Amino acid sequence: MSSTAHELESRPGGVTRKRRAWPWIVGLGLLVAIVAVRGMSGRRAAADAGGRGRDARPVPVVTAAAKAGDVPVYLRGLGTATAFNTATVKSRVDGQLLSVPVKEGQAVSEGELLAQIDPRPFEVQLQQAQGQLARDRASLKDAQVILDRDQSLLKDQILAQQDFDSQKARVDQFEGAIQSDLAQVKNAELQLSYARITAPFAGRVGLRLVDVGNIVHANDPGGLFVLTQVHPIAVVFSLPQDDLRLVTAKIQSGVSLPVLAYDRDNSKQIAEGKLLTIDNQIDPATGTYKLKAVFDNKDDALFPNQFVNVRLHIDTRKGLVIVPQVAVQRGSKGTFVYVVDKDKAAHVRPVTVALNEGGESGTTEGVAAGETVVVDGQDKLQDGSKVDVATRSGGPRGGAAGASGDAQ
């Protein structure tokens, strides 16, 4: 009885002590959580402060100076260089090819000997024609002497009128024969001259198609070689039909329009010429029309059938402020640039772009000549941001800008 009672008395006290320990454990956990939250908040604040410190540092940018100048406007097209004149050199007579005194690829002048056909058959024909002429002239002289004598006999009524008329007809026949002989002589001389093949114009000789010793004919389709005139040389190019009225107006006003030829990459100018003429119709399949320009080509920069990019100088915009095209940004309110002031702070400046020319933009409003604009690093800028300036080499040119223009 006594042991059972002791157990009953001790159990409630033990349970009470265990229940009293739980609040202390919960409180300790809350305290640890509060300390951890405050530590994280402190770290976040420090990170934010560090970020604000980094944002306050100057932004590195590249700048260039805006300059006043004139900007040419070009119409662009694709063209092909073509020989100003092309001739397939053929023989006009039949005969053996004796010599070709010019070399393949050689530049020749007008009238220079290109090939020699065997002249002996034509010399024989000429001698025959000259002999026939001499014989008929002698016969005419004899007939004329007889006619003069018959005329005296006719006056004395010794000779009949019929015999006199017959003799006069013989004289007329010999005169006609002499005219025919003269024509034969000229034809033989002409055939003999054809044995010498000369250059019809100054140009460059192509690859030889017939070797020396071969018999050539006047009706051979291939000819001896091709002669091309490359000084000057022509370039045929196409432009959209929308530009036709502008070009024709310039031509009708008598203005000489310069034409620039660029290489295949459209990066290097290789020749400069002038517009010669335009075609008389528009190609309905492409909506373009053809133009022809002429180039002196003294340095042989252009070659027949060479592909070129063509720029037709159609106008010049004067009094613009030129900035690099990469400086111009586009936003919801239009085009703008970042202008750096004396305090090295970048400010947003709205600009009006008149045209773009070869990596440069001609502006009419927003930027003044001499101001500094940002050309690289704009993505990190805001209005009023401090900048660390690095000047760009080769800024926009003053005066005429190069390359082709796109009007805005």
Q: What is the mean pLDDT of residues 287-303?
A: 95
Model pTM score: 0.66
* Residue 28, CA atoms < 13 Å, CB-side half-sphere: 5
pLDDT for the residue numbered 400: 37
pLDDT for the residue numbered 56: 60
368 token code pair: 């003044």
- Per-residue pLDDT band at 106 (split at 50, 70, 90): very high
Burial class (CB in 10 A: 0-12, 13-18, 19+), 144: middle
* Residue 32, CA atoms < 13 Å, CB-side half-sphere: 6
Q: What is the mean pLDDT of residues 281-299?
A: 94
Indicate the helix (H) or strand (E) that contains 161.
helix 161-194
- CA-closest candidate to residue 64, choices 405, 398, 394: 394
Token pair 């305090």 in the structure block, residue: 343
Q: What is the mean pLDDT of residues 374-387?
A: 88
CA distance 162 to 146: 14
* Residue 118, CA atoms < 13 Å, CB-side half-sphere: 13
- CA-closest candidate to residue 307, choices 392, 372, 235: 235
- Per-residue pLDDT band at 360 (split at 50, 70, 90): confident
Q: Which residue has the higher pLDDT, 63 or 38?
A: 63
Q: What is the mean pLDDT of residues 268-272?
A: 94
pLDDT tens digits, 205-217? 999 999 999 999 9
Q: What is the mean pLDDT of residues 259-277?
A: 94
CB 232 within 8 A of CB 83: no
217 token code pair: 């004919």
- CA-closest candidate to residue 338, choices 364, 377, 370, 369: 377
Look at 7-16, 96-105, 136-145, 229-238 and tell me which has the smallest mean pLDDT. Answer: 7-16
CA distance 214 to 18: 129
pLDDT for the residue numbered 118: 96
Q: Is the pLDDT of residue 33 over 80?
A: no
Share of the chain above pLDDT 70, in %: 82
CA distance 399 to 72: 10
Q: What is the mean pLDDT of residues 141-148?
A: 88
pLDDT for the residue numbered 71: 87
Look at 11-25, 128-142, 250-264, 289-303 and tell me which has the smallest mean pLDDT. Answer: 11-25
Q: What is the mean pLDDT of residues 375-392?
A: 85
* DSSP character at residue 408: -
Q: Is the pLDDT of residue 23 over 70?
A: no
CA distance 83 to 70: 35
Query: How many CB atoms sit inside 10 A of residue 86's CB?
Result: 14
Q: What is the mean pLDDT of residues 125-153?
A: 90
- Per-residue pLDDT band at 5 (split at 50, 70, 90): very low
Note the helical H segments in 263-398: none
Q: Is the pLDDT of residue 203 over 50?
A: yes
pLDDT for the residue numbered 155: 83
282 token code pair: 């528009």
Q: Is 342 helix (H, G, I), strand (E, B) or coil?
A: coil
pLDDT for the residue numbered 7: 45
Q: Is 214 helix (H, G, I), strand (E, B) or coil?
A: coil
Q: Spell out the residues 6+ positions from residue 309 whose beta carbon is closer than 8 angstroms to its own.
A: 76, 77, 78, 79, 261, 262, 263, 264, 266
